[in-house]
Amino acid sequence: MLLTKFGHACVRIEKDGRRLVVDPGGLTEPQALDGADAVLVTHEHFDHFSEATLREAARNNPGLRIWTNTPVARRLDGLGARVTTVGEGEAFTANGFDVKVYGTWHAPIHPDIPRIGNIGFLIDDALFHPGDALTVPDAAVDTLLLPVHGPWSTTGQLIDYVRAVAPHQTCAIHDGALNEVGTAMVGGFLGDNGPGTGAPYRHLTVGASITVG
């Protein structure tokens, strides 16, 4: 599979001429959805889900299908069978990609801030996008998309998370609020200069691609 990084938490995956996009949100370049017939959305926060963007994409592409959790599906009311609600433990095929669902809740930010639902997606038994949670799937992971910066985690938690998942490699996502200094700092701890995670760490610029799986 060819993985291309887009803004913040969004990636596009290509295989055999098919395209799948995960979490095209309010910080995502519009071209992320070009040529895509399948979209996965982990949760309803604006940086992962843009209702306007998905409705426009659905208007422009009658074949577009979306898989997501219940709160997001409700906000896409009117698209009918083109939106499928999924939850932890379910498996499905999206435009030729095999997908398994892990997790239920967004990582806690503070006791006074209500938690929302969040699901992660394991794609083709190789690539795992956890959304905004540090969910450990009960399966081998080739490439872990690692949310490197958010109000709900610390760098220490990320190090332990990578060790727990034990992927072959990690690729940074959820970095839209980091400047160059912050990106270098986080990369230092998660990469070769840190205490060690057991997996090579990669940070892709927007539009850059790598092969996974």
Closest by Cα among 19, 83, 81, 20 to 51:
83
What SS3 class is residue 72?
helix
Sign of the torsion formed by the C-alpha atoms of 156, 159, 165 and 171: positive
Average pLDDT on 65-71 reads 98
CA torsion, ordered 172, 19, 87, 156, to nearest 10 deg:
0
Residues 19, 189: Cα–Cα separation, whole Å: 33
In degrees and rounded to multiples of 5, residue 82 shows phi and psi of -75, -15
pLDDT at residue 30 tops 90: no
Q: Are strands 83-85 and 91-94 parallel, antiparallel or unpaired?
A: unpaired
Picking from 162, 127, 137, 138, the residue whose alpha carbon sits closest to that of residue 148 is 162
Residue-wise pLDDT tens digits, 117-160: 999 999 999 999 999 999 999 999 999 999 999 999 999 999 99
CB 127 within 8 A of CB 1: yes
Question: What are the pLDDT digits (tens) for 184-198?
Answer: 999 999 999 899 999
pTM above 0.95, yes or no: yes
Helices (H), the chain: 51-60, 70-75, 155-165, 180-190
